Amino acid sequence: MRQLVLHPHCDAGPITKVEAEIHPTDKGCAARFRFHGDIGAIKVPETREPERMDNLWKTTCFEIFWQPEGGSYYREFNLSPSTRWACYDFDDFRLNSRDAPAEVAIVSSHDETTLELSCEIESELPLPAAVALNGIVEDKEGNIQFWALAFEDGKPEFHSTVCRDWHLAGRL
């Protein structure tokens, strides 16, 4: 697993380390994310029936951005510990957002010090690709932390190509 970094404008909080990994599969990809820290001090969405849902990024969740190398198009996945998810296509930086075809299965678990989310995604994901793996943490006081493989200067912006610091060449 690779370690994500906390955005420099975010204050330290109950989560002290975030790790993630991803690999392509025959039908799309599989990913795993892990928060380490005081899990009892963050908002963890309750487990619900799996379904597509918007605005998951407003609280604790994970994200994947998948961009075929050489193009401006990209696909975004929002993955909640509740097992709800979303998938969007963009033609370019935040341009022409629309629902994208995907089937997502999420398994999430946590204890006092670790929250882990694993997912299997069925979706057309061209290779080679540049991929971003991100985490959003909301603590119980409403403070937000943003975690990513890398950030551009300025405010946290997960749609930036700078965040896409994981390069995938082929299927396993």
Q: Count structural domains, the chain.
A: 1
- pLDDT at position 171 is 61
- Closest C-alpha to 83, from 54, 55, 50: 50
Hey, what are 34's tokens? 């892990």
Rounding to the nearest 10 degrees, give the CA dihedral for residues 67, 30, 146, 116: 180
Strands 98-99 and 114-122: unpaired
Query: pLDDT digits over 5-56, tens only?
Result: 999 999 999 999 999 999 999 999 999 999 999 999 999 999 999 999 999 9
In whole angstroms, give the CA distance from residue 120 to residue 135. Answer: 17
- The enclosing domain of 66 has a CATH number of 2.60.40.1190
Structural domain range at position 41:
2-168
Query: pLDDT digits over 90-134, tens only?
Result: 999 999 999 999 999 999 999 999 999 999 999 999 999 999 999
Task: Check if the beta carbon of residue 75 is closer than 8 Å to that of residue 123.
Answer: yes
Task: Give the residue ranges of DSSP H helices in the chain.
Answer: none
Q: What angle do CA 11, 9, 85 make, to 5 degrees?
A: 85
